[in-house]
A = this chain, B = another copy of it.
């Protein structure tokens, strides 16, 4: 039986007059797009254009909500009641659904962004609150979780649809969390290395951490970042290396 894997990337991260990422190029490579919803990046015009691009390229659409912190790009933790966080997630998913509908598509998955995702990877209660909010709006949505973290524990407990992802360009700690971006080596910039590394993990069905530890993991999708200079090169390398190893790159089923 053929191994299959989905490739996802964050997209629609431009805002107003400011461009970020090469979405047009990435849409030719990835099979799922995590589209920013206007709180940490993206605006209504950018969302609409990105949704249309995803539909045209047959790429699966995901809502990618984050903290309401445009200046910080959703990368700073913000304390707030779980109920507020839930409402902000509902709001963002709804906006994404409307855009997808107008573009002739639909939102298939949800993925949390930045500091919100990092917090959810560590905090079962917060992850559960976020995902319950998403399901209250879209009961059939697939939750994209960071494999082997509290995000995955939360979706298992909820019994909802989910897919597990690993990051193509981020180093892992031995507890399967991401190495903090401020630490050297946290972000992999070498496309060849990223491709080889990810193919190895997919074939081994395990995360391999910075220290070399192997953590057996369900791997449904690979996250390719869209906001770095080398993003497109890494995406191409990962795609090519996976295919060369006999792994089929296809949109995850829902």
Interface residues, chain A, CB within 8 Å of chain B? Answer: 14-20, 38, 41, 43-45, 47-48, 68-73, 76-80, 83-84, 87-88, 90-99, 101-102, 115, 133, 136-137, 227
Contact = CB atoms under 8 A, between A and B. Distances in A.
Given A15-B71, A16-B72, A94-B95, 18 more contacts: A17-B73, A44-B84, A44-B90, A45-B84, A47-B87, A69-B78, A72-B78, A72-B80, A76-B79, A78-B79, A87-B99, A90-B95, A91-B99, A94-B101, A97-B98, A98-B137, A102-B133, A102-B137
Q: Please provide the 8 A-B residue pairs with the shortest distance between their CB atoms, ordered closest to farther.
A: A94-B98, A18-B18, A44-B87, A102-B136, A44-B91, A17-B73, A16-B71, A98-B137
B16 A136 contact: no
A203 to B, nearest CB: 34
A117 to B, nearest CB: 15
8 contacts: A43-B71, A44-B90, A76-B78, A78-B78, A79-B115, A91-B95, A92-B95, A94-B99
A115 B79 CA distance: 10
A108 to B, nearest CB: 16
Contact of A99 (B43, B44, B79, B90): B90
A137 to B, nearest CB: 4
A28 to B, nearest CB: 24
B91 A38 contact: yes
